[in-house]
Amino acid sequence: MASSNKKISKRDTGKLLNEWSQEFAVFVPSRETGVATMAKWDGKDTSFLDWHRNTVIPPKANFLPAMEEMFNFQRDKEGYHIELPPQDKHKQLIFGIRPCDAKALAILDMTFSDSYQDPYYLSKRKNAVLVGVGCTKAYDSCFCTSLGISPAESTDVDLMLTDIGDEFLIEAITEAGKKLISRSRGLAEANEADETRAKASKEAAYQKVTRQLDTDNIKQRLLANLENKDYWEKIAAKCLSCGVCTFLCPTCYCFDINDELVKQQGARFRSWDSCAFPVYTEMPMENPRVEKWRRVRQRVYHKYEFYPMSFDVTACTGCGRCIRLCPVNWDITQALNNLPAKV
């Protein structure tokens, strides 16, 4: 019996990406810059097909880059002339995004299309196609499964690929995904044996995620510990107030705005900012979180208490970057799992 899904051999995936390159700017996991990130595909290298986990730089950077020109300006006798930077008309196709990071984009969408429609983020995001690839071997920092995310399945992508040996099983998740499949060449029909292999592969992937976050009553437990200064002070002690955990978190979106000005012309940029920095929000006023424990607490509460209040979703996907990349191994799962039951 045939299934409605397709498949492609790993060997032919390069061809498929080349075909997609006619229509999209294709981005793939790459270490070409010196760090694992979603970079423009060079049309040749397919080594990323063997990668089995997420990148260091989250794919949010493709929509909310570390720095971005908002507009440029010139001043003459008549006043200021403002110009928008040239728009990249290419639609991005992100190949190899992991379920945690795809979920993170769905979470960011809520912020950037809430009461204010952010044109910079949304213009890039609107046309983008996400092709997910399931993880086959989670990092020891990954805890996606505790947050209801499977490492091998996603509803936040257009197409979802599962490693079934020498081939990928391809599932169309959205209408856009279905259309993309129907106009792509070189795809074979998946059969029942392929589906069985995919199911086994997904189950195995799920088992590989071993880190656990205790999410029982988490909002209530956090609320009860809001003023537990002793606890937060103690666990915040080793934090260095750097920007690693927030900049590289796929759901953190704070940015700073700065003008670069030389003589009569310049540009306005936005760039990542972090609630961990003591100077955060000092430009408009003071940082209300002068003590370090308040800043550490803020990051946890924003993700697990405030975001759920606003959007009914936890703003953490268990991607593990903040644990793995923190220079002192500050661990959000420990912070949450060890919350005192009685204060």
Partner 1 sequence: MEQKLRDGAKALLEQGKVDYIIGFEPGSLKFTTTPLITRDKDDIDRLVINPFIVNNLSAYLTELEGRVGIVAKGCDSRSIVSLIQDKQIAREDIVIIGIPCPGLIDLSKIEQLAGKDRDEVDDITREGDRVVIVVDGKKQEFPITEVLFDNCLGCDMPTPSEYDILLSESSPLVTDKTSSRKKIEGLKGTSQEERWSFWEKEFSRCIRCYACRNVCPACFCKRCFVEESEPQWISPVPQWQDNLMFQVIRNIHVAGRCTDCGECERACPVNIQLRSLAKEMYDIVDDLFQFKAGMDKEAAPLLTAYAVEEAEDFIR
265 near partner 1 (CB under 8 A): no
Q: Find which of ligand SF4, partner 1, none residue 56 binds, CB within 5 to 8 Å per kind.
A: partner 1
What are residue 189's phi and psi, to 5 degrees? -75, 140
Closer to ligand SF4 by Cβ: residue 151 or 177: 151
34 near partner 1 (CB under 8 A): yes
Closer to ligand SF4 by Cβ: residue 138 or 180: 138
> Which letter does DSSP use for residue 113 in this model?
B
Question: What single-letter amino acid sits at 221?
Answer: R
Selected from 27, 272, 304, 307, the binder of partner 1 by CB under 8 A is: 272
Q: Find which of ligand SF4, partner 1, none residue 35 binds, CB within 5 to 8 Å per kind.
A: partner 1
CA 98/CA 60 separation, integer angstroms: 12
Cα atoms in the 13 Å half-sphere on the side-chain side of 136 = 15
Which stretches of the chain are DSSP H helices?
10-21, 99-112, 119-126, 175-182, 192-207, 218-224, 229-236, 244-247, 292-301, 307-311, 321-324, 332-337
Selected from 241, 265, 281, 287, the binder of partner 1 by CB under 8 A is: 241
Q: Find which of ligand SF4, partner 1, none residue 64 binds, CB within 5 to 8 Å per kind.
A: none
Selected from 328, 338, 340, 343, the binder of partner 1 by CB under 8 A is: 328
Q: Find which of partner 1, ligand SF4, none residue 258 binds, CB within 5 to 8 Å per kind.
A: partner 1
CA 332/CA 122 separation, integer angstroms: 30
Closer to ligand SF4 by Cβ: residue 191 or 241: 241
Selected from 188, 200, 240, 343, the binder of partner 1 by CB under 8 A is: 240
DSSP assignment string, 261-272: EETTEEEEEEEE
207 near partner 1 (CB under 8 A): no
Q: How far is the CB of 147 from partner 1 (least distance, A)?
A: 17
CA 119/CA 174 separation, integer angstroms: 23
CA 246/CA 252 separation, integer angstroms: 6
Q: Find which of partner 1, ligand SF4, none residue 140 binds, CB within 5 to 8 Å per kind.
A: partner 1
Structure tokens at 321: 């970057």
Q: How far is the CB of 52 from ligand SF4 (least distance, A)?
A: 8
Q: How far is the CB of 273 from ligand SF4 (least distance, A)?
A: 13
Residues that bind ligand SF4 (CB under 6 A): 53-54, 98-100, 135, 138-139, 142, 144, 151, 209, 239-242, 244-245, 249-251, 276, 303, 316-322, 326-328, 330, 332
What are residue 27's phi and psi, to 5 degrees? -115, 140
Q: Pick from 93, 97, 109, 112: which is nearest to 149 by CA?
A: 97
Q: Are strands 91-97 and 24-30 parallel, antiparallel or unpaired?
A: parallel
CA 159/CA 311 separation, integer angstroms: 25
125 near partner 1 (CB under 8 A): no
| Residues at the site binding partner 1, with contacts judged by CB under 8 A | 33-35, 37, 53, 56-57, 66-67, 137, 139-141, 234, 237-238, 240-244, 247-248, 256, 258, 260, 269, 271-272, 274, 277, 279, 283, 323-325, 327-331, 333-334
